Amino acid sequence: MSNHSSPERASVRRHDEVLGYLLKHTHFVLEERTDAALAPLRLTSRDLGALRVIAGGEARSQQDVAAVLGVDRTSMVALLDALERAGIVARRASEQDRRRNVVELTETGRKVFNQAEQTSLDVEQNFVKTLGTDGASELQRALRSLLRVTSQ
Amino acid sequence: MSNHSSPERASVRRHDEVLGYLLKHTHFVLEERTDAALAPLRLTSRDLGALRVIAGGEARSQQDVAAVLGVDRTSMVALLDALERAGIVARRASEQDRRRNVVELTETGRKVFNQAEQTSLDVEQNFVKTLGTDGASELQRALRSLLRVTSQ
DNA sequence: ATCAATCGTCAGCAATACTGACGATCAGCG
DNA sequence: CGCTGATCGTCAGTATTGCTGACGATTGAT
């Protein structure tokens, strides 16, 4: 009995057995800690994410940055406004395509970014230290693998 | 040279080497898929999260449910309003403490929940299938471990 | 009996995603 | 060269959600 249709297959999962719950709350705790550590620099983890992409080498348009981070391009405007006001990034029109803004770190921005990135790295390493070095890189490998499969 | 202070220790991480990025985007993709699969039932993954806690056995107050999910108690009001309007949950005043609402699944709600939970489980298992059974449970184990440490 | 605390609710505010528009610019095509 | 459609950054408007602060009802401790 009790195998007449799919609903009966499901057992009741505790909320901490659900991958979505685990991902969301783990991210939440890590972001909370990162934001706290970044507060003295007047940056959020959201800001740092943008700076990381901008610092990543080749010149990026606003839309590139937004797309990588999964932020809407209309939200990116205000985010960059604040960073520009703080003297951390600069916009200039692309020479290849003058519709685009190329976003770059200023000299000050580079320094702030280096500090922020080191802070973020410290928080992250402290966060995962109970997993051991192997466990931590194993976790990263697994997550990267999931993202790669889903976006190919 | 270049070891005069901490900023220089940081190397530039690609965004997909940052744990916060990986957690956030992995969660995002999984939630997107779950919401899509749940749409025919007129439920979101947010709703299902609440139902999971409510279905989890002992009678729960609204605040209990909200706290477990990390949802604000003021947002839980509207969430439960919708589920109650749909005939999926019922509120009744607790007999031990009449300030509290005990939230329970209705008979209909139990059926909808079973279907939704099975759907969610299917989506999740499909999502992690590239990791293999070991990899998937290893991932869950690691995330649970991080959450346990941070909340003890 | 009184008083502080808790619960569910509501109103108001801030942050963010999303839509749809706009001007400027580009690429493709004749 | 001049059109036409698409793209980029921007802005206005709307919806969702978290947070604060309040409130009435209720509880528990004194």
Residue B86 has what pLDDT? 94
CB–CB of A80/A91 below 8 Å? yes
* CATH number (domain holding residue A65): 1.10.10.10
Confidence label for B148 from pLDDT (cuts 50, 70 and 90): confident
Mean pLDDT across the stretch B98-107? 91
Read off the tokens for B144.
Answer: 């649970």
For residue A16, give the chain B residue with the closest CA.
Answer: B144
Q: What percent of chain B has pLDDT over 70?
A: 90
- Does B101 fall in a domain? yes
Asked if B127 lies within 8 A of A19 by C-beta distance, the reply is: yes
Asked if B12 lies within 8 A of A146 by C-beta distance, the reply is: no
- Does B9 fall in a domain? no
pTM above the 0.85 mark?
yes
- Does A70 fall in a domain? yes
Q: Which residues of A touch B130 (CB under 8 A)?
A: 145-146, 149
Q: Which of residues 59-98 of A touch B (CB under 8 A)?
A: 68-70
Residue A10 has what pLDDT? 53
CA distance A63 to chain B (A): 16
Domain that holds residue A52: 25-124
Those residues of chain A that have pLDDT short of 70 are: 1-11, 59, 150-152
Q: Nearest CA to the C1' of C11 belongs to which residue?
A: B74
Q: Is B7 on the interface with A (CB under 8 A)?
A: yes
Residue A149 has what pLDDT? 74
Read off the tokens for B35.
Answer: 């919401």
For residue B70, give the chain A residue with the closest CA.
Answer: A25
- Give Cα separations from A88 to A85, A110, B18, B43, B96 (angstroms): 8, 8, 21, 43, 57
For residue A9, give the chain B residue with the closest CA.
Answer: B118
- Does A110 fall in a domain? yes
B147 → closest Cβ in A29, A115, A151 = A29
pLDDT in tens, B51-65: 999 998 776 788 889
Spatial CB neighbours of A22, under 8 Å, sequence gap ≥ 6: A16, B140, B143, B144, B147
**Domains held by chain A: number:** 1
- How many angstroms separate the CA of B99 from the C1' of C1? 21
Q: Is the CB of B62 under 7 A from strand C?
A: yes
Residue A86 has what pLDDT? 94
Q: Which residues of B touch A120 (CB under 8 A)?
A: 18, 20
pLDDT in tens, B23-74: 999 999 999 999 999 999 999 999 999 999 999 877 678 888 999 999 989 9
- Does B144 fall in a domain? yes
Residue B149 has what pLDDT? 74
CB–CB of B94/B101 below 8 Å? yes
Mean pLDDT across the stretch B103-125? 95
Bases along strand C below 7 A from a protein CB: 6-12, 16-20, 23-27
- Using CA atoms of A9, A12, A17, A21 in order, give the dihedral in degrees to the nearest 10: 110
Q: Which residues of B touch A45 (CB under 8 A)?
A: 20
| Pick from A25, A41, A7, A57: nearest CA to A111 | A41
| Pick from A31, A47, A148, A77: nearest CA to B16 | A148
- Does A5 fall in a domain? no
Q: Is the pLDDT of residue B75 over 80?
A: yes
A22 → closest Cβ in B16, B17, B147 = B147
Residue B112 has what pLDDT? 95
Q: What is the mean pLDDT of chain B?
A: 89
> Rounded to 5, what percent of chain B is helix, strand, coil?
70, 10, 20
Q: Which residues of B touch A55 (CB under 8 A)?
A: 12
- How many angstroms separate the CA of A102 from the C1' of D9? 11
